[in-house]
Structure 1
Amino acid sequence: MKPSLRAQAVAPMELAGLQRLARSGSLDIALGIPPGDPPAAVVDAAVSALRQGRHQYADTSGLPELRAVIAADALRTHGVVVDPDTEITVTVGATEALLTSLLAVTDPGDEVLLLEPYFELYPGVVELTGAVPRFVRLRAPDWRLTEDALTGALSPRTRAVVLNTPHNPTGRVFDAEELDLVMNVCQEQGIVCITDEVYDCTVFDGRRHLSPLAMPRARSNSVIVGSLSKKMQMTGWRIGYCIADPEMTTVLRRIHEHTTVGTNHPLQYGASALQASDVLDGRLLFQEQRDELVAGLSALGFTVSPPEGGWFVFAGTEALGWSARALSRRLAESAGVLVAPGSPFFQRQEDSDRWIRTTFVRGAETTRKALDRMAAFLAAEDPPSR
């Protein structure tokens, strides 16, 4: 059997295979998997749903009570009223929300702009739709989005731009000037902004997460992608959503019905027990851990800018004399520390070999032990280039 050209073009996810490098007892500071549990009421409600026989299909657009929870969260986070009946679609994680959004606004051969560095998943999802990814380089070391980079990537085939804020892997929280730039270009060019906001509740140092959802002029050509799985530290539940105007929501729901039909009924029922006080406050939970990881990596000689939001620290390896790929492999094999090399986040190896991605959400003890192991390794082993 010969696989399709589309399937052949999609590379396996390097992040998904990272754990195969690790030896027994390794410390994982590569993958964003928090150690906490969901709120007890949410788990209890999901178990109750199973015991009460909620095993069949639910409303394909999402349980009405869960859509009401998402609408309440949008009001709390952005001060925006969203109609849960006509503007929200519950999906199988934010990944399906992104795929559904791209299928709704692109045709094969259309182009989609991705900010680079990018979350590894994005190029493959774009390619699965038959569209073509085009890359907009963020300006290092502060990872700002510039007008020249954005407009320089446009073509007559551009149909969408994917904006991820807080940004994975760099931790940028894009500001009002950058959001205005994106929305001005979208309106002038007639393209759609798909905004991945799965880390919207993890923003540091008194900053505010800004969203096109709170920009009245942007509502008609933007789709917001979110994740209750992230908000409640239950990444394996795979409950995401799209927020869009009623006309686009009709399209999104039609596509969603043809991709997954609907999202897991008992887990939706559990998530609908979410209360405002249950939503993950990433600043309170993670800012101290972020600071500890930033300080520790800086002391080891990495080049680090403190992330403004999200779950990750992007650290430069050049000053150490190591390539990111060699260092990540040796850390996994010899030190028992798992970090992500830069290769999943860039197109060109010369860019990717300068960066590693680490996370601070695995717990303070894991972070401290990993830093100690990294310090011992770097003190004992010279870079291959020396």
Structure 2
Amino acid sequence: MARVHKISRRVQNIRISATKLMPMLAARIGGCVSLGQGVPSFPTPPHIAEAVSRALRDEPGIGKYSLQPGMPVLREVIAGRLAEEKGFVVDPGTEVGVTVGAMEALLMTMLTVVDRGDEVIVPSPGYASHAEQVLMAEGVPVYVPLRPADWGLDVEAIRAAVTDRTRAVILCNPGNPTGTVYDEADVRALCALALEQDFVIISDETYDFMVYDAAGNPAPMPFSPASLPEMRDHVICINSFSKKYALTGWRVGYVAADKRWMDELLKVHDAAAICAPTVSQYAALAALTGPQDCVDAMRSALCLRRAQTCAALDGMADHFSYVIPRGAFYVMARYRFSHAASPEVARRILEEARVITIPGGSFGPEGEGHLRLSFGGEQEELAECFSRLGAWVRENA
């Protein structure tokens, strides 16, 4: 009799996120357009591709491992950016680690901070993989609702959720899936609570470059908890090159933290990946040191797509309500035409309208009754998405 091999509890307790599952389902259906996965439509900027091409010809070490925490010159540039943009002063030699995207940096952090049974507070709705990574670390995600009127941070609700098992609070700012940008006063209040209750803020700053003002134009980066010197031992800062520089497929990001944390984080990095791909680190270096007009162009395009998305939803006001996004390229749209659970609604829209959306319930309890819509796609595709979605709700609502 064949032996049945046991699957570990940590794997049985997690699942593939809906942001990945819905495009997989769409691929089987065919002919779909996407408001789903958060991948901007922009190609990798030419100057980055050209810099990597030169390095492939001229740098013999590009096909080999880099130093385990990353190329020294890249860590130096990252440290310079952190100091310039956030006032977060770190030693590039001991307090910056280059990772396989922000996702590896997040998982490294969870496995370093969280023991079995420890609690991590996850604002809800929140990025689905944050909670899955807490579960992978055998911790307990504790969902705390955001303010429903504006998806703002409810620090008093977080205070009420803190227990003697609380080890961390996840702060994703700007937010995925809500498109929120947390007010500086609320972030400062959360930092004060972290110091008072001795927990860590895991600061996911992947979308920090994409903030809108009231008129829908690009605005300054949100306030980072890493900018406060007193938070030195209580914050782990994580970022990515994926969205800002259209490097999603290159899989490169970084983590920055006090040396006490970094020494432990790099143990996980060594066991999981050894180092980030060296070729991708060259791409990241070219991104940071090259011209930044590509970022400005992407921001301007996303501003137009945001306006297009809001206008389309306003045209379906009988069927959807939403909070205007202040950052990232997502909007959480509450549907008014059905009491069905969000996975069922998203599946029907996929199968009947051939439009990919992401069920809001996958982002935590407060996401139920919503669909996350991404406006990262080209304007032509967005127009087709909303044309199909509008026709579908008129017929089925």
Q: What secondary structure does 1:280 align onto?
A: helix
What is the deviation of 1:110?
A: 1.4
- How many aligned residue pairs are there? 378
One of 371, 375, 381 as aligned partner of 2:390: 375
Q: Once the two structures are superposed, what CA deviation does each residue of 1:155-177 show, in whole Å capped at 9, x if it has no partner?
A: 11111111110011111111111
Asked if 2 retains the 8 angstrom alpha-carbon contact of 1:173 and 1:209, the reply is yes
CA distance in 2, matches of 1:99, 1:327: 31
Which one is further off, 323-332 or 9-18? 323-332
User: Which shifted more, 14-23 or 60-69?
Assistant: 14-23
Which of 9, 13, 24 does residue 9 from structure 1 map onto?
13
Give me the identity figure in percent.
33
User: Deviation at 1:89?
Assistant: 0.5
Please tell me whether the aligned partners of residues 198 and 227 of structure 1 are also in contact (alpha carbons under 8 angstroms).
yes
Q: Residue 288 in 1 paired to residue 304 in 2? A: yes
Q: In structure 1, which of residues 324, 327, 342 is the aligned counterpart of residue 360 of structure 2?
A: 342
Separation in 1 of the partners of 2:123 and 2:382? 28
Q: 1:128 to 1:316 in 2, by over 3 A?
A: same
The answer on whether the counterparts of 2:121 and 2:168 sit within 8 Å (CA) in structure 1 is yes
What code does the residue aligned with 1:257 have?
D
2:258 equivalent to 1:245: yes
Equivalent in the alignment of 1:36 = 42
Partner of 1:299: 315
The aligned counterpart of 1:63 is: 71
Contact kept, 8 Å, 1:49 with 1:270, in 2: the verdict is: no
CA displacement, residues 191-227 of structure 1 (integer Å, 9 cap, x when unaligned)? 1111000000000013541101211221221000100
Deviation at 1:49, TM superposition (A): 3.5
Cα offset, 1:74, TM superposition? 2.0
For the residue of structure 1 that corresponds to 2:262, the secondary structure is helix
Question: How do 1:178-189 residues align onto structure 2 when only pairs under 5 Å count?
Answer: 178-189=186-197
Q: How does 1:306-325 map to 2 (within 5 A)?
A: 306-318=324-336, 320-321=337-338, 323=340, 324-325=342-343
Alpha-carbon deviation of 1:368? 1.1
Deviation at 1:300, TM superposition (A): 0.9
- Residue identity opposite 2:190 in structure 1: V
How much has 1:321 moved relative to structure 2?
3.4
* Distance in 2 of aligned mates of 1:240 and 1:180: 25
User: Which deviates the most, 232-241 or 77-86?
Assistant: 77-86
1:60-101, CA deviations, whole angstroms, 9 ceiling, x for partnerless residues? 101112212322332443244433222210011111101111
In 2: Cα distance, 1:321 partner to 1:207 partner: 38
Q: Please state whether the residue corresponding to 2:142 is helix, strand or coil.
A: strand
Q: Distance in 1 between matches of 2:301 and 2:97?
A: 29
Corresponding residue number in structure 2 for 1:203? 211
Evaluate the alpha carbon distance shift between residue 32 and residue 133 of structure 1 in structure 2; reply closer, same or farther with a 3 A threshold: same
Determine the C-alpha separation between the residues in 2 that align with 1:321 and 1:10: 28
Task: Tell me if 1:272 matches 2:280.
Answer: no
Please tell me whether the aligned partners of residues 361 and 369 of structure 2 are also in contact (alpha carbons under 8 angstroms). Answer: no
AA aligned opposite 2:338: G
Q: Counterpart of 2:243 in 1: which secondary structure? A: helix
The runs of 5 or more residues in structure 1 that have no matched partner are none
Could you tell me whether the CA contact under 8 Å between 1:298 and 1:304 is conserved in 2?
Answer: no
Q: Does 1:361 align with 2:369?
A: no
Taking the aligned partners of 1:106 and 1:328, their CA distance within structure 2 comes to 33
| 1:163 aligns to 2:178 (yes or no) | no
Deviates further, 73-82 or 179-188: 73-82
Letter in 2 for 1:305: V
Aligned partner of 2:314: which letter? Answer: S
Matches within 5 A, 1:124-273: 124-205=132-213, 206=219, 208-273=221-286
* Corresponding residue SS for 2:232: helix
Query: Secondary structure of the equivalent of 2:64?
Result: coil
1:21 maps to 2:25? yes
Q: Check 1:56–1:283 CA distance in 2 against 1; reply closer, same or farther (3 A cut).
A: closer
**Are 1:73 and 2:104 matched, yes or no?**
no
Deviation at 1:276, TM superposition (A): 5.5
Tell me if the contact between 1:73 and 1:276 (Cα under 8 Å) persists in the aligned partners.
no
Q: What is the root-mean-square deviation in Å for CA atoms of aligned residues?
A: 1.8
Given that 2:10 and 2:136 are in contact with CA atoms closer than 8 Å, whether structure 1 keeps it comes out as: yes
The aligned amino acid for 1:364 is Q
Structure 1 residues 298 and 197: alpha-carbon distance in aligned structure 2, compared to 1, 3 A threshold: same
SS in 1 for 2:222: coil
The alignment's TM-score, normalised by the length of structure 1, stands at 0.93
Unaligned stretches of 5+ residues in structure 2: 214-218
Query: What's 2:115 paired with?
Result: 107
Question: Could you say what secondary structure the match of 1:315 adopts?
Answer: strand
What TM-score do the two structures reach when normalised by structure 2?
Answer: 0.90
In 2, the alpha carbon distance for the partners of 1:189 and 1:148 equals: 13
Asked if 1 retains the 8 angstrom alpha-carbon contact of 2:99 and 2:253, the reply is yes
Q: What secondary structure, in the 3-state scheme, does the structure 2 residue paired with 1:48 have?
A: helix
Displacement, 1:322?
Answer: 5.5
Residue 189 (structure 1) shift? 1.2
Corresponding letter in the other structure for 1:29:
L
Letter in 2 for 1:315: A
Structure 1, residues 353-373: CA drift from partner, whole Å, max 9, x if none? 410000111111111111111
SS for the counterpart of 2:295 is coil
Q: Which moved more, 1:19-28 or 1:170-179?
A: 19-28
1:210-245, CA deviations, whole angstroms, 9 ceiling, x for partnerless residues?
101211221221000100122211211110111112
